[in-house]
Amino acid sequence: MHMLRFPSWLLAVALLAILLTLAAACSSAADRGVAVSQQAPPAPQAPSAPQAPSASLDAKPQSPAIPASAAVPASAPAPVPAMIAGPQIDRVIVGLSPVQVENNIPRNTGPSFTPQFRPMYEYIVGVDPVTGALVPQLATEWALDSGTTTFRIKLREDVQFHNGWGEFTAKDVLHTFKDFTREDSQHAFGKKWRTYVTVEIVNDHEVLFHLEKADSEFLANFAEQSGGGEIQSKANFDEAGDPKNVDAQPIASTGPYRWSERRQGQYVRYSRVPYKHWRITPDFPELEIRWLPESSTRLAALITEEIHVAELPGDQLIDAVGRGMQVVRGPVPALRTFLQFYGTYYVDNDPAKGRLYPDSPLLDPKVRRALSKSINRNELNQAFFQGKGEIMYNNHYHPGRLGWNPVWEETFAEEFGYDPAAAMALLAEAGKSDLSITIAVVPLSGLPINPNDVVEAAAGYFQAIGVDVKLQTFDGGAFRSACQRVPFECDAHVKLARTSSTQMLGLSVYRDSRISTGSGSLWNDVTPPRLRKIAETLNPAEQDGLYRDLGDVYLSMYMEIPLFWIPAEAVVNPKFVSDWSFPGSISGTWTHMDHIKAAR
């Protein structure tokens, strides 16, 4: 058998043709954004120099210039620039504990349930992911008209609604406000705004919010900060109306992600908009929020790469880090935990008519103080938060917020600190040595712990001072119906609560419900006038003194059982996710998912 032999020059020509074909294929792939396996020869290294700060969180990385001293000799082939690799995965999956209420209608949910909306909706006023400051979003600027309580807001132009529903204009702001303030709205701010706010359209890109009284928190509440003004398309709503069920398409929005699908109790999925978004282009083409009630399930899914980001309790967070995962933290102190009292309602919300449950033991401040002094906070902190919890000396007050009084820290041990003997003595003084209460066990998202662990620990502390404790399990909707809405069936209940709300929102929602939603921990006729005065005061120096005076009143009433300020931490798999900038100071905690950065 004879082998054919080719001249050496012919082999060289053939080889050169093959190489040119491969180079063209690689170039074509690069133009399409497709990663190729061939690696370019390494470029000469420039001397190291300090990196200039980025002008924008959304700025694209720039390739460093090669100095003349590192130039390639003319006889050498020019180096091929290295391509920027894409993300390792198309869909980033974030594992969270479920929200209490799943819904596609923002007006029928509360601020704590907004993680399901935030990837797709935008707001008039946004929040900076690093500082937590209010920043322009769909508004370009805003100001109070001189001598009035009218906010003049100028709107961004050329912003498109998803799915072809046209350009965002002032009519969509008016529609959204009217939707939130409908008679049947269940949102925290709906009834409140309906009584004193009207919206006037000046032109397509300017609106006026007329307030009949000053409200220092209005913009923060109709904003990303609290989640109360998710801007929706009027044209889409006029044609389609409300989604028919929780898995149906929601009303169109303007965010960098658009809604794809939902499976109730399982997940919500979003896809990156197919055009250049005005604000930010997310790294990942798709985003999924997967609802996983058990933290152990979230940890296992993270380790097996079924999910890529997770909220985990402290012990499992440590386990995850030991397996190569990394922690990202919201830098703004805001997330707090506390135990809330239910059963102190007024009849028809009228102090003149007396209490709905006049014999509720929780009406006695000695009982409330006793329950607080039964809690070993240091033990809880170490057991569930690895010591990361910052003691909360006065709920919703922090050294970085208005109204802080350092005296509260000095008196905390005496007033609230762990002392079982003193707690039992207080119960005896109140004639409640046979105290019986119910602890509501309710799903609670947004905490880096298993909330049931804290609930069970609290039950143990109460039992240790002789309290008869019953645990009653609710789903989120059932609890709202029983304890936060008429007919108010909870007569002596305690519930673990968490919030990342603003100071005023926290005080009004959790300490006196008549200003907002019906979840206040102790209805009374002392604090509402003070809260209204703060809300109507626009001077921060005056607000500071008013907040401090009100804080003293709250402490004297032992309004709830304060626990901790908790850092908002998530765990990421660095194989897929390099970083996530979120402030940790927003209702619902888990925000700015369009800022999840891909590992490349």
Q: Is 277 among the domain residues?
A: yes
Helix axes 314-322, 377-385, angle to 10 degrees: 30
Q: Are residues 345 and 433 in the same domain?
A: yes
Residue 487 maps to a domain: yes
Residues 317 and 373 in one domain: no
pLDDT of residue 40: 32
CATH number at residue 196: 3.40.190.10
Asked whether residue 239 falls in the same domain as residue 354, the answer is: no
Q: For residue 474, is it within any domain?
A: yes
Q: How many CB atoms lie within 10 A of CB 360?
A: 20
Per DSSP, helices labelled H in 106-203 are 170-180, 190-196
Buried/exposed code over 253-282 (b: 16+ C-beta within 10 A; e: otherwise): bbbbbbbeebeeeebbbbbbbeeebbeeeb
Q: Which residues of the chain have pLDDT under 70?
A: 1-84, 446, 448, 512-521
- 76 is a domain residue: no
Q: Which residues, 6 or more positions from 250, have their beta carbon under 8 angstroms from its beta carbon?
A: 104, 105, 120, 243, 259
What gap in Å lies between CA 203 and CA 286, rounded to an integer?
Answer: 36
Structure tokens at 445: 């998202």
CA within 13 Å, CB half, 24: 6
Do 378 and 248 share a domain, yes or no? Answer: no
Do residues 341 and 250 both lie within one domain? no
User: Are 176 and 107 a contacting pair, CB within 8 Å?
Assistant: no
Question: What is the rounded distance in angstroms from the CA atom of residue 155 to the CA atom of residue 168?
Answer: 9
| pLDDT value of position 47 | 29
Q: Read off φ and ψ for residue 236, nearest 5 degrees.
A: -65, -45
Do the beta carbons of residue 121 and residue 237 sit within 8 Å?
no
Same domain, 293 and 348: no
Name the token pair of 539.
Answer: 């001077």
Strands 561-565 and 336-342: antiparallel
Are residues 375 and 479 located together in one domain of the fold? yes
Find the CATH number of the domain harbouring 389: 3.10.105.10
Answer positive or negative: Cα dihedral of 555, 559, 561, 566.
negative
| Residue 81 placed within a domain | no
Q: What pLDDT is attached to residue 83? A: 54
Residue 401 lies in a domain: yes
Residues 357 and 305 placed together within one structural domain of the fold: no
Distances (CA, A) of 565 to 201, 233, 251, 337, 390: 41, 37, 35, 7, 5
Q: Are residues 116 and 132 in the same domain?
A: yes
Is residue 72 assigned to a domain? no
Q: Do residue 312 and residue 394 come from a single domain?
A: no
Same-domain check for residues 119 and 196? yes
- Domains in the chain: how many in total? 2
29 in any annotated domain: no
Task: Let me know: does 594 contact 255? Beta carbons within 8 Å.
Answer: yes
Same domain, 324 and 351: no
Which residues have C-beta within 8 Å of that of residue 144, sequence separation ≥ 6? 150, 151, 152, 538
- Amino acid 452 reads N
Domain that holds residue 342: 336-565
Task: Give the pLDDT confidence score for residue 264 in this predicted structure.
Answer: 94
